[in-house]
Structure formats: structure tokens, C-alpha cells
Structure 1
């Protein structure tokens, strides 16, 4: 279900259930978490096999949970995995080519960058069959696109194409191949990339964020002191 390829500083994690539009099962969620969190390089690219990015939670599993399982535990498992991806040390790029639906949108929202191909589409269709995305989507979506667009796509369940997703800030770029963006990130200094992600993700108070920002900058200065000395005036 989860295929991993390490290529220098970039780990490519492929959701590999094309017949199921790469829908996620509980075991698939756990494998996805390990693949991202344990990445040896500085960048992870998450993408889907076939003509979809990710259809979200496997509906056969959802049906089983609804009748015989523990819905709260199911939701908390997904929330834990996506939070782990958001907090991973590597910079995580969602390369969306084809459909992202429900939990697939939530997976993309947990990544640091969302890059779409022109064929990408996005929808939160849960409301049309009596559910909604509960893997962190109700807070990540409005944080990312603003309340008006979040309400629009969540309450209607409608699909938006790559151009509209870019307009609302759901994706940062529309490109032919998302791997090119992963390679851009991989060309950056590893320590700076890691610390910058950590700072941008910080949701502490402004004072605490600025103190941590200063400490991180000081650490980078110390690490690159020899290189920086070349810029000193004689």
C-alpha cells in the first residue's frame, strides 16, 4: 500500500492502491506515518499511484467502524498520524495529481507544501453522505484557505480544480511535476530547512516564538561561522 523510494535527500512516499484510488486503511495510515517520520533525508514527497492522489479513508473500513468499531478511536488514529506528518523533521511536500477527496485533502493539509498538477481536483464530500473530514481538517482547512472558502467547499461538498485551489491558497503552485519542487527544497541547507520549518510551524506566543527564532538563528550562525567569515570586510 505504501511504497518508499529514497533518492538522495528526497524520500518519495507513494500511496499505492490505485484500484481503490489510494484510499487509506488503518494499517496504511500507520505505514504512511513511519515512512514520513523515519525519512533519512531532508525532504519527503507524498504522491499517489494511478489517477488519484488519495480518496481519503477507505469507505469499507468506515462502514465497519460505524457498525462494529470505535469511531472515536478511528478518528484519533487519523489525527495522530497527520499531526505526526505535520511535525516531522523533514519538509513534506504533497504532490497532488488527480483527485484528493476527504481524508486525502486532510493529508495534503498536514504537509508543509501542497503542489498540484493541472489535473488535480479537491473536495470534502463527506457532508453529502452524512459525515465530514475529522482528521484535523476542520481546523487546518480554515487556517489554510480562510473561513469563507473553507465554509464553501466543506458545506457544499463541491470539487474545485487546481486553478481554483491555487486561487484560494489550498495549493502553493500548479506545476507539471511536483518532484521538481521537492528537488528545490532538497537543494537548501539541511539545518536551515529543518529549523525554518520548526519556526514556521510554531504556534506558541509571539514572545516565545521570537525567542526560539533568535536561538535557532544563533545556532545556524555558529554552524556556518567559517563560511560567513568570508563575507567580513578586511
Structure 2
């Protein structure tokens, strides 16, 4: 089929389920044994090498050497779960990594985050956790791989980084550890999702496409 005849609509994000919740954030930080000043970097999804988890682990450890407030929260499961666990245990900042395993509904945990990483080194069709995190006013670090760049406004709601480049990911993490920069991105992230990925936005685009299907 000619590309001009193909229209893509994103699966909408539940903006009520994915929203900022300070009380939930405080409770989750307490569960993790962290204080309110901790900076929590999240990685949510399947745990295998193609997702860039080892690049992220190395980058996070390098950033932790410079930023004492930084912690990393890992949610998910996969073929490399045990290998990641051993790599974390052998790392210099093992106590600052929190690997919680598979959780059926990850949406509450976005509120524990200061920033979210989507570090895939393999092309992705999309990156839903990136969008859901921004709906919770969490800025993101995203690989320039496949459809992932469509999930953020680079330099505004997060940073777009080269896949597999540990130094670039370390620098990106440290850049968003800067409170002013991170907070300015957090302030606009949810509005970005409302505009492009909310149910209202997707429904309006669907109606528009029905009205002019070959536009």
C-alpha cells in the first residue's frame, strides 16, 4: 500500500491513571527507604540486552559517582533478569539500585521517579513507558532508536540520546539531575502528552482522518 494512504494513530494514555500524585510519591519513597531529596531514575519494561539495560547500568553507576542523591529503580522481568541482578550486585553502588521485578500495574510507580530512561539499543516501534512517565510529569531520557523519538519533545520534555553510548547516557542522567533543568521539563511534560497522546487528542485525530481519509 502506498505510504501516503497509511495513517497512524497512537494508543491513547489513560490520563487519570497516569498523573502526578505527591502523596503516592511520598509513600513509594518511604517503601524504598529513600528520603524526599532522592533522585530516582526509573527503567520499566522487559529486561534483556536489546533494551540497553547494561548501557544504562554502567551510565547510572558513573553518574552515581558524581551525584550522591541518585538511585535507580528497575521494574520488569525478562531473560536477563538474573544477569542484571548479578551485575548490580557486583557494581560499586549496588545499594542504590532497587530491582523490584515484575509488577502488573506499573503506573503508580512513575510517581516515585525523578526521571525515566528508555535506553533500547534495538529499534522500537514505540515507547509507551516514555509517554506514561511524562503524563506523570516525569522527564525522560530516550534512545534515538526506531519510533522512540516520537514519544518526547527533545530538549523540552526530555533528552534524546544515542543508543549504546554509555558516556552520553551518563551525561544525560547528570544533566537531568540538575534540579532547575529537570523541573522545567517536568512542568511541561504532562501538557505534551495531553496534546498528542490523550484519549481526547487521539479521538479527534480519528474523526479528522475519517473525514479526509487520504489526507
Same-fold call, TM > 0.5?
no
Larger radius of gyration: 1
Say which structure is richer in helix.
1
Say which structure is richer in strand.
1
